[in-house]
Amino acid sequence: MKFAKMLLVAGVSVALLSGCGANEEKAANEAAPATEQADVVTTASLVNEGEAFTKAVSADGTWIIAILNDVTIDQDVTVAGEFRNKNEAEGDIYRKIALYAQDADHKVTATYTLTVPKLTVQSENLKAQGGTIKGDVYVEANGFTLTEDATIDGNLYFASEDVKATAVLEGKVTGATEVK
């Protein structure tokens, strides 16, 4: 039963991100000659455990990271690297952590919690959407967004007033929100 549930969640998550992934793969295939290997992963990273999440948010990771269930990580994690929306070479700098699943009609079907002692954001224009980040979030890059359907169950710290001024905070923060 547990395997069937995980398979169902994985299927829904694939459907959630299929619109993004199909276009990215097509663009990557058109951009790279058939004889060369692509240097960058162009699809979304679907993760269901801490080690995969940590790798996905690294500088060598992907532009969008979607968790498939609640994930707990016992060490600090850094979101690093510069990524472009849908990995388009000329696209806007953008990165997203999706803490939810959705159906084919883009209706949210489940939300998840990422538990981490400290999440440091070094990627510009990171959007945390849906679900909950349980732990403190330290933002060092411009353009951080916490969508209205997302929560930080902890403190939110900004590296400077300038970084804080670029943030969009529509969601809930249960602790302090300050420059530190």
pLDDT in tens, 111-165: 999 999 999 999 999 999 999 999 999 999 999 999 999 999 999 999 999 999 9
47, burial (CB in 10 Å: exposed 0-12, middle 13-18, buried 19+): buried
| pLDDT at 33 exceeding the cut of 50 | no
| pLDDT at 169 exceeding the cut of 70 | yes
pTM, full prediction: 0.77
| pLDDT at 19 exceeding the cut of 70 | no
For 73-131, what is the HEC assignment?
CCCCEEECCCCEHHHCCCCCECEEEECEEECCCCCEEEECEEEEEEEEECCCCEEEECC
Give the pLDDT confidence of 53-97 residue by residue, as tens digits.
999 999 999 999 999 999 999 999 999 999 998 878 888 999 999
Q: State the pLDDT confidence band at 26, using cuts at 50, 70 and 90.
A: very low
- Report how far residue 23's alpha carbon sits from residue 5's, in angstroms, rounded to the nearest whole number: 28
Q: How many domains does the chain have?
A: 1
Res 43: pLDDT: 57
Mean pLDDT of the chain: 83
Average pLDDT over residues 26-31: 37
Res 168: pLDDT: 98
Res 91: pLDDT: 86
| Domain encompassing residue 56 | 2-179
| pLDDT at 101 exceeding the cut of 90 | yes
Q: Tokens standing for 25?
A: 């793969």
